[in-house]
Structure 1
Amino acid sequence: MTLSLFDQFSSPTFMGIPLIMVALSLPWLLFPSPTSRWLNNRMLTLQGWFLSNFTSQIFLPLNTGGHKWAPLLSALMIFLLTLNTLGLLPYTFTPTTQLSLNMGLAVPLWLATVILGLRHQITHALAHFLPEGTPTPLIPVLIIIETISLFIRPLALGVRLTANLTAGHLLIHLVSSAAFVLLTLMPTVAILTTILLFMLTLLEVAVALIQAYVFVLLLSLYLQENV
């Protein structure tokens, strides 16, 4: 029995085995594998079209040095898209509603962009902490503010993805519970609530796709500042 609305976000287990490991392994089945055929099937063709358009849009403003991140960010995009959308199916679990998982993705990738900037162009990276022409009394304050804004970036990445998906799942759960309760009491209101639930589900699908794109887009912007 569900004691709390947030119990649906706890990692389920089966015979003592955490099912989050199974959920995390599912997206890797969708990655295209090399083939010796001249023509690919529709699935691989669609994936190739999506990846080529995605990489051309994300990496167009980046310097040549940042293009090495294309395979990593493309794989991350497919990974997040699959986890977010598969979690909307009934009797499934969405791993990206766990803040620990999102922070585990955000912190290492953000730290890699910072280290890359300090390694290749340390002067340019440190110049972000103090804009040119800053008055002398404001120098300590601006350095503190820029340092806080730098270290809050991975937290914002992880919390944004977690909060948007969690809020959408909670709304779907609340509206579906209301539609089920009103079905015998007020059928007309229950039908209207079901229509609202359908529209909310479509919105949540769009949110799942957009949040995966925003996560990778922000990482590419952080990378752009350090290459």
Structure 2
Amino acid sequence: MMTSLFDQFASPKLIGVSLIFIALMVPLLFPNSLPRWTNNRLTTAQTWMTNQFINYQLMPLNINGHKWALLLTSLALYLISMNLLGLLPYTFTPTTQLSANMGFAMPLWLATVIIGMLNQPTSSLGHLLPEGTPTPLIPILVIIETISLFIRPLALGVRLTANLTAGHLLIHLISMAVFVLLTLMPTVALLTATVLIMLTLLEIAVAMIQAYVFILLLSLYLQENI
């Protein structure tokens, strides 16, 4: 019996209990330090990449936003870990679930809004009305900007979910085509497998880029309110 291709994105269950919470905890199981006096090439490369990410992350922020560097960097590494682990066979990607992504986006977006309202309420409310707006358009623009403000966390969650779901689904479809064509047309199956390998490499890049975009947009929202 044919099953839906989207069943691969359903949270795995054990004795009727969803295991998405265990999947979310998997990146935390990796050791954060190694029992050695000096770093090896891997840890040196990881440290360099983390430092470069922090530098790029703090570029749009002023000095008041630098205190968020640890939180945003930790979240970025966490998202990258989950995105990349989901590309392994027989694994589950929690970031393909909109509910999980909204759990990351909503509290952080709300924190930026609350900080703006507490520290500079005039400037934060001023973003709802562009300067020089004609008087008849003021009510309409305020409503539009308010809706745009509340759509931000949804856009963050949907962007991450849609990109990862589309990539995983395309890899699944092409891999099914490779298995079907392997006995019928081996040459075409080989070419399709080459496309599959290239798509997998692209999906690895997408997994890292989407985590970076998620954090970058959060930092831009933060910059508007500090």
TM, length-normalised to structure 2: 0.94
Bigger shift: residues 52-61 or 66-75: 52-61
Give the letter aligned to residue 6 of structure 1: F
Match of 1:5 in 2: 5
Q: Residue type matched to 1:29 in 2? A: L
Query: For each residue in 1:120-151, what CA deviation from the matched residue of structure 2 results, as whole angstroms up to 9, or x when unmatched?
Result: 00110011111121111000011011001101
Write the distance in 2 (CA, Å) between the matches of 1:194 and 1:41: 35
Aligned pairs for 1:63-82 within 5 A:
63-82=62-81
User: Any idea what SS the aligned residue of 2:147 has?
Assistant: helix
Counterpart of 1:29 in structure 2 is 29
Measure how far apart 1:31 and its partner are: 6.1
Q: Is the 8 A contact 2:178 2:193 kept in 1?
A: yes
User: Matched residue of 2:122: which SS?
Assistant: helix
What SS is found at the alignment partner of 2:74? helix
- Indicate the residue corresponding to 1:20 in structure 2: 20
Superposed, 1:36-47 pairs within 5 Å as: 39-47=38-46
> What amino acid does structure 2 have at the position aligned with 1:189?
V
Contact 2:98–2:158 (Cα < 8 Å) also in 1: yes
- For the Cα contact (< 8 Å) 1:32–1:44, is it kept in 2? no
Check if 1:138 corresponds to 2:137: yes
Q: Give the conservation status (yes or no) of the 8 Å contact 1:27–1:78.
A: no
Question: For residue 206 of structure 2, what is the aligned residue in structure 1?
Answer: 207
In structure 2, do the counterparts of structure 1 residues 34 and 201 end up closer, same or farther at CA, with 3 Å as the change threshold? closer
Residue-by-residue CA offset, 1:164-198 (whole Å, 9 max, x unaligned)? 00000110111110110111111111111111111
Q: Which residue of 2 aligns with 1:224?
A: 223
Preserved CA contact (<8 Å) 2:86 2:92: yes
TM-score, length-normalised on structure 1? 0.94
Counting matched residue pairs gives: 226
Residue type matched to 1:140 in 2?
A: P
Q: How does 1:1-227 map to 2 (within 5 A)?
A: 3-30=3-30, 32-33=32-33, 39-227=38-226
Q: CA shift at 1:222, angstroms?
A: 0.4
Bigger shift: 70-79 or 52-61?
A: 52-61
Query: How far is 1:42 from its partner?
Result: 3.8
Matched AA of 1:88: L
Pair 179,147 (structure 1): closer, same or farther in 2 beyond 3 Å: same
1:106/1:154 contact within 8 Å kept? yes
Of 38-47 and 81-90, the range deviating more from structure 2: 38-47
C-alpha contact (below 8 Å) 2:60/2:220 kept by paired residues: no
Tell me, what secondary structure is at the counterpart of 2:89? coil
Classify 1:76/1:41 alpha carbon distance in 2 versus 1 (closer, same or farther; 3 Å). same
Distance apart, 1:15 and its partner CA: 3.7
- Check 1:130–1:173 CA distance in 2 against 1; reply closer, same or farther (3 A cut): same
CA 1:109–1:211: 2 relative to 1, 3 Å: same
